[in-house]
Amino acid sequence: MFQKILIANRGEIACRIIETARKLGIATVAVYSDADRTAKHVAMADEAVHIGGPAPRDSYLRADAIIAAALTTGAQAIHPGYGFLSENPDFVESVETAGLIFIGPSAQAIRAMGLKDAAKKLMQAAGVPVVPGYLGENQAPEVLASEADKITYPVLIKAVAGGGGKGMRKVSDPKDFADALASARSEAATAFGNDAVLIEKYVEKPRHIEVQVFGDGKDAVHLFERDCSLQRRHQKVIEEAPAPGMSLDMRAAMGDAAVKAARAIGYKGAGTIEFIVDASDGLRADRFWFMEMNTRLQVEHPVTEAITGVDLVEWQLRVASGESLPLRQDQLTITGHAFEARLYAEDVPAGFLPATGRLDHLAFPVGARADSGVRAGDVISPWYDPMIAKIIVHGPTRAVALSQLSRALAQTQVAGSVTNLAFLGALARHEGFARGDVDTGLIERDLMALTQAPTASDAVKALAILAAAALPDDALAGFSLWAPLQRALAVMHHDETISATVAALGPQRARVSLGGACLGATRSHGVWQIDGAEPLPVIKTASAIYVFAPQGAFAFTPVDPLARDAAGAGAGNATLSPMPGLVKAVFVTAGQTVAAGDRLAVLEAMKMEHTLTAARDGVVAEVLAQAGDQVEAGAALILLAEPDEA
Ligand code: MV4
């Protein structure tokens, strides 16, 4: 076994790998960019080497710097994690040329699976079912069109170099074929520098079921399937193992096909064979087809670990160091059912916009596995994937595991960034999902219901008001029992001002009046309960109050009572930052007269520039941001004067 390895990655997967290395007594070397100097993976590793700037091409994609770091620190092997350099055959060759071991498959195996048409041919020859289609030996448009006729419509045009749905077009009618081909080609040329396509029969109501394989270069086994059908725009959201509705004969057929695929390329290490399954008539052993092979450890590997009891990173390290497969196929079994939910910093109601921010508070549920690369106080930066954590549960049955998932999500607390937690919770409670009736279109069909922003109840608002009131816990600290003390308070929630009065009825009792409702509150051990309901966790930071309700986290900002008259009425007067970003330019100064539609400022966010314009005619009262400022979503950038003040 190795004495020391380098992990060429960051975030949760780097932390995950370090944990297993530590368990096996292997020393670890982290690498990090400027943006990750204080990151969790750096803190966890025994040593860490700085490799460059925050942009991936300046650090985590720098093969030379990473190999140099391994040589300098005396690491014997490099674990690539997923993403970054994990499926780059040139990197594998450079690692091996430097006399180091790449913890993963050979460059040749990665290359064999890199192009869709070549991979499909290889798999077909190995006896693995592939989707009926044309592999594009001749790329002339009229040849492709006549092949599409032979396949019978609907067909799918796919870029041979494709991935993530790019360069893919469904065609239902032959008259649309030529246009679809041209647009798939040009998209593929732009994205991959390769405009070759293949044509497949279009599979209706597809399910994405993948099989985990493991090879040692001589032999291969499979570790059963995962269902990853719950996706949105090719981003997986919730994965599970085993696949709901899977029969023993179909599992055996898929497992056999996956092992055949791995053996055909002498596979070494962890890999995944992705199949597309026609679920229009239930799961049937003759309705699955090879789609592609991922030659790496995948994000969703923990659900396989949960049901098999295998530590896949341990297997990777053992096989890479020369051991043979730790278990035979007949020693592998499935126990129970597991789910993984991907918790992201993103603004779901705004269309799943990636979000950033400092995580003021972060708490994961007990009784669930949470794989995370961040801690409370860490920042989700715009440089990398905004995943906060993977929440993994494992129960004896699918129904039990699903209820564990709901509970685990309800008990997850994140403050400081918006997250997709409410969306994940809504999915975990979705009736079709509970029935196991999953397919890749489920999320899109029910998008409206699933992405509805949860609304704060009066009880949630009252808890925020009580937190803002900060009533002293001491009976003698200024409250008269026979003359209840009334205070007017306000908090902001999104752009709504919630005004309330709090009457202290005693040290541990209060009445909150808001919007016509009157709520009774009692306190014990510093925790408020509203009208006798279960208390909810409340976190107060320097600038915000968070109430964690089962349906989601609600963020409030206390309104300074002195500034309230100015700001409260003026919500419509403020130009707010629509998303986190960098202020590139501000075009106005205080006192300047503007007309509706005038350019006020430019915000750079998510690699695009957004021009912010005046909502109405008016006079600029205040400019609150300047070029170079990093601003949060919802930050007021420019205030217009009240119309009557102008
Ligand atoms: C398909 C298909 C239907 N028929 N192939 C999407 C990503 C790419 N790797 C393959 N994909 C698909 N291939 C045929 N012949 C439908 C999809 C597809 C899909 C597949 C898996 C998971 C989610 C998906 C979402 C939309 C389309």
The residues with which 630 forms a beta bridge, in sequence order, are 582
With 70 as the cut, is the pLDDT of residue 570 above it?
Answer: no
Cβ neighbors of 26 (< 8 A, separation 6 or more) are 1, 2, 3, 4, 5, 317
Nearest CA to ligand 1 atom 11: 165
β-bridge mates for residue 549, sequence order:
552
Q: What is the mean pLDDT of residues 28-57?
A: 97
- Spacing, Cα 288 to ligand 1 middle (Å): 12
Q: What is the pLDDT of residues 447-472, one digit of tens each?
A: 999 999 889 999 999 999 999 988 87
Q: How many whole angstroms from 138 Cα to the centroid of ligand 1?
A: 23
Span 256-287, pLDDT tens digits:
999 999 999 999 999 999 999 999 888 999 99
Residue with the smallest CA separation from ligand 1 atom 22 is 208
> In the structure, what pLDDT confidence band is assigned to residue 35 with cuts at 50, 70 and 90?
very high
User: Ligand 1 centroid to 296 CA: how many Å?
Assistant: 20
Question: Residue range 547-554: average pLDDT?
Answer: 90
Of all atoms in ligand 1, which is nearest to the CA of residue 228? 22
Asked whether the predicted pLDDT for residue 478 surpasses 80, the reply is no
Q: Which CATH number fits domain 458-558: 2.40.128, 3.30.420, 2.60.40, 1.10.8?
A: 2.40.128
Helices 301-308/312-320 angle, 10° precision: 100
CA distances from 237 to 116, 232, 362 (A): 24, 7, 20
Least confident of 23-37, 237-251, 330-344, 594-608: 594-608
Counting ligand 1 atoms within 8 A of each CB, the residue from 289, 440, 444, 447 with the most, and so the one to mutate, is 440
* pLDDT beyond 50 at 487: yes
Contact criterion met (CB below 8 Å) for 276 and 205: no
Backbone φ and ψ for 474, nearest 5 degrees, come out as -110, 125
Above 70 in pLDDT, residue 482?
no
Token pair for residue 366? 């007990």
**Is residue 16 annotated as part of the catalytic site, yes or no?**
no
Answer yes or no: is pLDDT of 479 > 70.
no
CA 290 to ligand 1 centroid distance, Å: 11
Out of 296, 318, 342, 398, which one is annotated catalytic? 296
Length of the chain: 646
In this structure, the residue with its CA closest to atom 2 of ligand 1 is 203
Cα 159 to middle of ligand 1, angstroms: 12
Three-state SS for 160-222 is: CCCCCCCCCEEECCHHHHHHHHHHHHHHHHHHHCCCCEEEEECCCCEEEEEEEEEEECCCEEE
CATH topology of domain 207-450: D-amino Acid Aminotransferase; Chain A, domain 1 (3.30.470)
* 239 pLDDT higher than 60: yes
Residue 314 in this model has a pLDDT that exceeds 80: yes
Please tell me if the CB atom of residue 206 comes closer than 6 angstroms to any atom of ligand 1: yes
* Mean pLDDT computed over every residue of the chain: 91
In three-state form (DSSP H/G/I as H, E/B as E, the rest C), the secondary structure along 6-17 is EECCCHHHHHHH
Q: What is the pTM of this model?
A: 0.85
User: 206 alpha carbon to ligand 1 midpoint, in Å?
Assistant: 7
Whether the pLDDT of residue 643 is over 90: the answer is no
Least confident of 30-44, 92-106, 326-340, 585-599: 585-599
Q: How many C-alpha atoms does 295 have within 13 Å on its Cβ side?
A: 27
Which of 210, 234, 236 is the best mutation target for the ligand 1 pocket, counting ligand atoms within 8 Å of the beta carbon and taking the most?
A: 234
**Would you list the domain boundaries of the chain?**
4-103, 132-201, 207-450, 458-558, 574-640
Q: Please determine, looking at this structure, whether the domain spanning 574-640 carries the CATH number 3.30.300.30.
A: no
- pLDDT at position 572: 63
198 against 643, higher pLDDT: 198
Percentage of residues in the chain with pLDDT exceeding 90?
76
Under CATH, to which class is 4-103 assigned? alpha beta
637 vs 41: CA distance, rounded Å? 35
Pocket of ligand 1 contains residue 84 by CB under 6 Å = no
pLDDT tens profile 171-203: 999 999 999 999 999 999 988 889 999 999 999
CA nearest ligand 1 atom 10, residue: 165
209 CB near ligand 1 (under 6 Å):
no
What CATH number labels 132-201? Answer: 3.30.1490.20
Q: What is the pLDDT of residues 113-141, one digit of tens each?
A: 988 888 999 999 999 999 999 998 899 99
Confidence of residue 474 (pLDDT cuts 50, 70, 90): low
User: With a 6 A CB cut-off, is 553 part of the ligand 1 pocket?
Assistant: no
Angle, helices 89-97 vs 63-73, to 10°: value is 30
**Residue 201 alpha carbon, nearest atom of ligand 1:** 15
- Res 555 pLDDT > 50: yes
